[in-house]
Amino acid sequence: MVRHDVGVSGSVRPEDRAGFGEIVGALSGIDVVVARSVDRFSRVTSHFASLVELLDKRSTTLADVQGQADLTSPYGRFVVTLMVAFAQLERETIQQRILRSRVELRQGGKWLGGAAPYGFRVVPDGEGNKRLDVDETAAEVLRNVIERINEGHTLSAEVDRLNSSGVLSPGDYRKVQRGEALPEKRAQWTYSAIYQHLRSEVLRGYRVQGKRDSRRVVRDSEGKPVRVGPALIDDKTWRTLQATLNANGVETKRPRKKATMLLHVAWCTACDDVMHYNTRVYKDRRMDQYACPAARDKSRRDKCAGISVNAERVEAEVETWLLRNFGHMPYTERVLIGGNDTASVIEELEGDIAELAASLVGLRGAAKAAVLAQLESRQEALEEAQAEPASEPEWRWVPTGETVAERWHNADTAGKRVLLLSMHIRAGIAPATKGRRWDPERVSVGVHIDDPAAEAADAVLREEFLSDMV
Q: Give yes or no: residues 152 and 170 share one domain.
A: yes
Q: Which residue, of 238, 257, 276, is where some domain finishes?
A: 257
Q: Give yes or no: residues 291 and 407 share one domain.
A: yes
In a domain, 154, yes or no: yes
Q: Which residue, of 209, 231, 257, is where some domain finishes?
A: 257
Q: Give yes or no: residues 140 and 239 share one domain.
A: yes
Q: Give yes or no: residues 388 and 243 share one domain.
A: no
- Give the torsion sign (CA, 244, 249, 251, 254): negative
Quick: pLDDT tens for 79-135.
Answer: 667 666 666 666 667 666 655 555 554 555 566 667 888 999 988 877 777 888 999
Helix, strand, coil % in the chain, rounded to nearest 5: 50, 15, 35
Pair type for strands 330-337 and 130-134: unpaired
Residue type, 333: E
The answer to whether 199 and 208 have CB atoms below 8 angstroms apart is no
pLDDT of residue 255: 42
In a domain, 286, yes or no: yes
Give the three-state DSSP class for 434.
coil
Q: Give yes or no: residues 322 and 386 share one domain.
A: no
In a domain, 116, yes or no: no
Q: Which residue, of 107, 138, 160, is where some domain finishes?
A: 107
How many domains does the chain contain in total? 4
Buried b / exposed e over 305-337, threshold 16 CB at 10 Å, is ebbbbbbeebbebbbebbeeebbeebbbeeeee
Kindly write down the DSSP assignment for every residue of 118-143, as one continuous string. TTEEEEE-SSSSEEEEE-HHHHHHHH
Q: Give yes or no: residues 276 and 320 share one domain.
A: yes
pLDDT of residue 470: 43
Instruction: Tell me the residue range of the domain where 166 lies.
Output: 129-180+188-257
User: If we measure between CA atoms, which residue out of 8, 74, 90 comes closest to residue 41?
Assistant: 8
Q: How many Å is the maximal CA-CA distance in the chain?
A: 106
Q: Is 0.85 topped by the overall pTM?
A: no
Q: Give yes or no: residues 225 and 347 share one domain.
A: no
The answer to whether 212 and 220 have CB atoms below 8 angstroms apart is no
Q: How far apart are CA 361 and CA 367, in angstroms?
A: 11
Q: How far apart are CA 34 and CA 60, in angstroms?
A: 11
What is the domain-level CATH number for residue 71?
Answer: 3.40.50.1390
Could you say which residues of the chain have pLDDT below 70?
7, 10, 36-40, 42-43, 65-80, 82-92, 94-113, 212-213, 248-259, 334-344, 390-395, 450-470
Pair type for strands 32-35 and 61-64: parallel
Q: Give yes or no: residues 239 and 280 share one domain.
A: no
- As beta bridge partners, residue 428 has 267, 444
In a domain, 447, yes or no: yes
pLDDT of residue 375: 83
- As beta bridge partners, residue 395 has 336
Q: How far apart are CA 396 and CA 415, in angstroms?
A: 21
Contacts with 164 (C-beta within 8 Å, 6 or more apart), sequence order:
none
Q: Give yes or no: residues 347 and 328 share one domain.
A: no
Long-range contacts from 221-227, C-beta under 8 angstroms, 24+ separation: 221/107, 221/370, 221/373, 221/374, 221/377, 222/373, 222/374, 222/377, 222/378, 223/352, 223/356, 223/373, 223/374, 223/375, 223/377, 223/378, 223/381, 224/377, 225/201, 226/106, 226/107, 226/108, 226/109, 227/109
In a domain, 118, yes or no: no
Give the DSSP H or E segment for 216: strand 216-217
Burial class of 66 by CB neighbour count within 10 A (0 to 12, 13 to 18, 19+): exposed
Q: Give yes or no: residues 92 and 75 share one domain.
A: yes
In a domain, 81, yes or no: yes
Q: Give yes or no: residues 316 and 433 share one domain.
A: yes
In a domain, 113, yes or no: no
Q: Give yes or no: residues 274 and 400 share one domain.
A: yes
Buried b / exposed e over 427-448, threshold 16 CB at 10 Å, is bbbeeeeeeeeeeeebbebeee
User: If we measure between CA atoms, which residue out of 130, 128, 129 comes closest to residue 120?
Assistant: 130
In a domain, 148, yes or no: yes
Q: How far apart are CA 195 and CA 162, in angstroms?
A: 14
Dihedral of CA atoms 142, 148, 149, 151 in degrees, nearest 10, equals: 150
